Amino acid sequence: MKATFLKYGAASVALLISAAGGTTVLAQDPSAAQSSPAASTPTPAPEKKDPSIAQRKENQQDRIGNGVKSGQLTAGETANLESKEAAINKETRTERAANGGKLTGAEKAQVNRQQNQVSKQIYADKHNANTAHYGNNAVGQRRENQQDRIAQGVKSGQLTAGETAKLEKQQQGINKQVATDRKANGGKLNASEKKQVNKEHNQASRNIYNKKHNAATQPKAKKP
């Protein structure tokens, strides 16, 4: 019996037997020897797009809010960071207004560089030796409560960067006053000083409430 390989287009592999000549013919589709493009070429991974300006702002605020909540960022550090964020936001609004609501490619690149710089500072401030110590006392607990409320407002978008900067500067002023009074009194506050600090925290508390419930909000990025 003689075996002969021929190429046919009818089937990938077909076995034909010729009864007359006793010849076995194996037919093979030439397309079977060629791998399919879908099989040989892996599906490319989706391209990672740069985050939008709004998403970048939201990410920065989340990181700052987490640092405030954990005590990794002091009031002074937070005020400084939020002042820089507020300046970037103001610059972005000005450029959008001048360009019909959009940023040019060069302006986007500039904003991204500025956010990169702030991002590095957020990391450095959260990992340095400075932390917000509240203490196990009424004054310390009041400070912690205020910071928790500010952190929540930052993460929810109720507080803009500019509003947060002002609130944290107020907290920084109270903290400096408490530190000075303690130093002058052997590490403690007298009754009059405690009363004064409590009055200042009451004012700060009202400011936090008002800024969290006004019309100004931090725009949230649109989710894809």
Task: Give the DSSP per-residue string, 83-150.
Answer: HHHHHHHHHHHHHHHHTTT---HHHHHHHHHHHHHHHHHHHHHHTSS------SSHHHHHHHHHHHHH
Q: Say how far apart CA 153 and CA 172 lie, in whole Å.
A: 18
* pLDDT at res. 220: 74
* pLDDT at res. 96: 94
Q: Tell me the backbone φ, ψ of residue 15, rounded to 5 degrees.
A: -105, 115
* pLDDT at res. 211: 97
Distances (CA, A) of 6 to 10, 13, 15, 16, 18: 12, 10, 10, 10, 14
Task: Read off the pTM.
Answer: 0.73
| pLDDT per residue of the chain (224 residues) written in tens, 0 to 9 | 554 444 444 444 443 344 444 544 444 544 444 444 444 555 554 444 456 888 999 999 999 999 999 999 999 999 999 999 999 999 999 999 999 999 999 999 999 999 999 999 999 999 999 998 888 888 999 999 999 999 999 999 999 999 999 999 999 999 999 999 999 999 999 999 999 999 999 999 999 999 999 999 987 766 55
Helix (H, G, I), strand (E, B) or coil at 201: helix
* pLDDT at res. 141: 93
User: Domain residue spans in the chain?
Assistant: 3-30, 53-212
